[in-house]
A = this chain, B = another copy of it.
Amino acid sequence: MPKATRTKKIKLKSKPIVSPEIHMNNSVTFRLQASGVAQAGICGSWMGSDGWNLPEKKMKKGKDGVWEYKTGILPGDLHTYFFTVDGVRVVDPLNAHAIRDVSSLSSVFLIDADIAVYYKVQNVPHGTVVKRWYTSSGVENYRRISIYTPPGYEKSGKNFAVLYLLHGMGGDEESWLESGRLAQVMDNLIAEEKCKPIIVVMPNGNVAQEAAPGFSSEGFIRPSFVLPNTMDGTFEASFSDILKFVEENYRVIKSKKGRAIAGLSMGGYHTANISRYYANTFDYMGLFSPALNNKPERHPSAIAYQNIEERLKQQKKNGYRLFWISVGEEESPLLINGIYDYKDRMDQIGMSYHFQETEEGHTWSNWRKNLVDFVQLIF
């Protein structure tokens, strides 16, 4: 090294404050520059495992007015979190990436280890994500729908299989793309040839909504967890509008062997009902933490909920390739009992299914894993 540079004093720049900082070992440090704040805390999706309750952890104030919290080693996942600043829930001001889940925003980061390598945008061919509108005569509405087409769909002359993928209560046509990492999971599994290149259709299962909050003519409304007519059979009865729209507008296999349907929580309930009502339509069913504690019998006038036993027998008789049910071991007993009731019904008529218990509870962490598992088994 020449003398001149060797003797030159190196000017140290003050390091910019980073949050979240993901360390080599997948522990994470969060920072909040807030010298005027008396108390700061953090709630992260990794802190609770039932999907409902998160403890708040205190952040610690440093001399420089920067509050910090460091986690242990985190599992590979899409993690969400928020801070509390003197009791006010806020997203991390240093993190530009947030996801809306029902009516709240949470900051987000990815630990791309284990199964979560599939949640990352990798250097592989990417499918196309489309947001468009269809007319649903069944619910007298012009409705928004999200559709993923696999890499090569546009230039291929082939017909593709379709997975209809349904959201849970408080969700909408954005949920599987945002919280579910649908496009990344599909791109990556297709690139590894672990999943067929298929189309994934994500409708809005809330018939009271024409579109996700912010995308409808209601404007930037405050989203509600509970909406009218979500589990009264209206969505299920009108599902033929969606099938018709997809089969008229996309190059798809127009028979049972080319159709799968899956959903989480309320979407799992919808999946059970739709696949039973349209009893010869789907070869593959995926029920992720299905909210089968809701009983169709409560709405006796709903056309999609009539003759349950007969339709279930018909579904069995017509045949299918996979009926896949998963549930987290920390789910509510109510939900677990609902699933066992439906399994009993299936057992009574000798209907086959795959049943899988996972760790944790009613969480996106589970549903993303369910998706990765399920799409490798279909078509």
Interface residues of A in 97-116 (CB under 8 A from B): 97-98, 100, 102-105, 108-110, 112
Count residues on chain A whose CB falls below 8 Å from chain B CBs. 58
* 14 A-B contacts (beta carbon < 8 Å): A34-B86, A36-B88, A37-B85, A88-B93, A90-B91, A90-B93, A93-B104, A96-B214, A97-B100, A97-B213, A108-B220, A109-B220, A112-B219, A125-B142
Pairwise interchain contact B88-A121, C-beta atoms closer than 8 A:
no
B-chain residues with CB within 8 Å of residue A253 when the two chains form the complex? none
Q: Give the distance to chain B from A101, nearest Cβ to Cβ, in Å.
A: 9
Pairwise interchain contact B100-A89, C-beta atoms closer than 8 A:
no
Pairwise interchain contact B87-A34, C-beta atoms closer than 8 A:
yes
Pairwise interchain contact B105-A98, C-beta atoms closer than 8 A:
yes
Complex Cα distance, B216 from A128, in Å, reads 14
Chain A residues at the B interface, C-beta cutoff of 8 Å: 18, 32-39, 85-91, 93-98, 100, 102-105, 108-110, 112, 120-123, 125-133, 142, 144, 154, 211, 213-217, 219-220, 222-223, 249
Q: Give the distance to chain B from A54, nearest Cβ to Cβ, in Å.
A: 16
Pairwise interchain contact B219-A121, C-beta atoms closer than 8 A:
yes
Pairwise interchain contact A130-B130, C-beta atoms closer than 8 A:
yes
B-chain residues with CB within 8 Å of residue A126 when the two chains form the complex? 132-133, 142, 144
